[in-house]
Chain A
Amino acid sequence: MASVGKQTKLNFTATRPRPVIKKEAPSFHRPITTDQTKTVEQVEAELNILRQFDLNLKYGPCLGMSRLERWERAQRFGLSPPVEVRNIVMSNHGNTLYSECLWFGERGLV
């Protein structure tokens, strides 16, 4: 019998993220929130870490997926992506400056 092969993942692409009706009910998906008072330097430093992650070829192409998706994908492939990248993205949940790769929004690229 032919070799069994490796399980692939679905490659459907996301359309616009759905507008979720926020409810006050206990949510199982509360994002990690942090104190919002950050200095400009702190913000720049965080974004720089994220940009370095985007540009690091080791983790594959960054276009077409969010940073978190790329991080989780890298994690699944055993590439040990830096935990701080995930922490930074998760603590700035909902902010596309953090959640999307640096070319997000560039016409013709993403």
Chain B
Amino acid sequence: MFEARLIQGSVLKKMIDAIKDIVTDINLDCSSTGISVQAMDSGHVCLVLIELGSDGFEPYRCDRNITLGLGLKALSVVVRCANNDDSITIKAQEGTDNINFVFESPNGEKTSQFEIKLMDIDSEHLGIPDTEYDSVVKMPSHEFQRICRDMSQLGDSIVVACTKDGIQFSASGDMGSGKINLRQSSLVDKEEDQINIELNDPVHLTFALRYLNYFTKATPLSPTVTLSLKAESPLCVTYPIGDFGSMKFFLAPKIDDEDTAAATQE
């Protein structure tokens, strides 16, 4: 028996909205510690990793580890029926083919119940190594979303460069080119407005903006976002979820043609 109730159902709504354009189905791995989801896009270019600790739910019950396969189409249709202030309860019974969702309004006057069929999704579990990143940058999430959106007006790719002077985003195309520089904040009123740049090594990477604009759909989840960069490695974009979870997106970089053969032979 698996049952988990999220008081702030809007978290689930935002999460589903952020991934529905990237993946078509997901496996929810539920255990006593919480729920985790790992899904790659069909091109194997990006991966989303969601981790929700059991303490974000009240109640949380997971008798035995269970994997629930869900199609994103059905899931997003159902979850859209919840109001932003509803609580969402997820229930699944071992040996049955369905997963149940219950949405309750805060005053308890309205209750909605939905049931969708579980899917048999055969996917491998990928090991994501603990990485010592060259640079870790924390910034307001809306700022990152704005930068990605603005740069995609100029070109398909964004170059991200971290040096001791800060982090620079640039793009170019037929129309012209543009550069945005962010520097470490000195004193700010609100912690979430702070730009924090940790630099172990300068790093210079190129990414496809199309994917970044998908990832930034998770902006409503958190006022801050963290970008973790390392040479020749996937970018990690992290949106914390309250104090009990996180949503991470990994994106493989674009590499200059001469290096491509070497990189893809790995």
Q: Write the residues of chain A forming the contact surface with B, with a CB cutoff of 8 angstroms.
A: 1-29, 60-61
Q: Are A20's CB and B170's CB within 8 A? A: no
Write out the residue numbers on chain B whose beta carbons fall within 8 Å of the beta carbon of A23: 69, 97, 118-120
Q: Are B40's CB and A10's CB within 8 A? A: yes
Q: Are B257's CB and A3's CB within 8 A? A: yes
Across the two chains, which residue of chain B brings its CB closest to A9?
Answer: B44
- What is the bound-complex CA distance between A13 and B29, given in angstroms? 19
Pick from A8, A24, A25, A26: contact of B255, CB below 8 A.
Answer: A8
Q: Are A26's CB and B126's CB within 8 A? A: no
- What is the bound-complex CA distance between A15 and B125, given in angstroms? 6
Contact A14-B67, Cβ < 8 Å, known A5-B254, A8-B254:
no
Q: Are B121's CB and A20's CB within 8 A? A: yes
What is the number of contacts between chain A and chain B, taking CB atoms within 8 Å? 115
- B156 interface hit (Cβ, 8 Å): yes
Nearest-neighbour CB distance to chain B for A13, whole angstroms, equals 6
1/0 contact trace for B37-49 toward A, CB 8 Å? 0001001111100
Q: Are B206's CB and A5's CB within 8 A? A: yes
- What is the bound-complex CA distance between A8 and B263, given in angstroms? 8
Q: Are A22's CB and B120's CB within 8 A? A: yes
The size class of the interface chain B forms with chain A is 35 or more
- What is the bound-complex CA distance between A5 and B254, given in angstroms? 5
Write out the residue numbers on chain B whose beta carbons fall within 8 Å of the beta carbon of A6: 254-257, 260
- What is the bound-complex CA distance between A8 and B207, given in angstroms? 10
Q: Are A7's CB and B45's CB within 8 A? A: yes
Pick from B97, B127, B170, B260: contact of A14, CB below 8 A.
Answer: B127
Q: Are A29's CB and B121's CB within 8 A? A: yes
Write out the residue numbers on chain B whose beta carbons fall within 8 Å of the beta carbon of A20: 27, 67, 69, 120-122
Q: Are B126's CB and A13's CB within 8 A? A: yes
Write out the residue numbers on chain B whose beta carbons fall within 8 Å of the beta carbon of A8: 45, 252-255, 260, 263-264
- The list of the 10 closest CB pairs from A to B, nearest first, reads A1-B172, A14-B124, A25-B97, A12-B126, A27-B120, A5-B254, A5-B256, A9-B44, A25-B117, A6-B260
- What is the bound-complex CA distance between A3 and B125, given in angstroms? 34
Nearest-neighbour CB distance to chain B for A73, whole angstroms, equals 8
Write out the residue numbers on chain A whose beta carbons fall within 8 Å of the beta carbon of B186: none
Across the two chains, which residue of chain A brings its CB closest to B71?
Answer: A28
- B107 interface hit (Cβ, 8 Å): no
Write out the residue numbers on chain A whose beta carbons fall within 8 Å of the beta carbon of B25: 28
- B203 interface hit (Cβ, 8 Å): no
- What is the bound-complex CA distance between A26 and B208, given in angstroms? 36
Nearest-neighbour CB distance to chain A for B139, whole angstroms, equals 23
Nearest-neighbour CB distance to chain A for B153, whole angstroms, equals 15
- B130 interface hit (Cβ, 8 Å): no
Q: Are A21's CB and B119's CB within 8 A? A: no
Give B75-132 interface residues, CB cut-off 8 Å to A: 94, 97-98, 117-129
Write out the residue numbers on chain B whose beta carbons fall within 8 Å of the beta carbon of A11: 252, 266
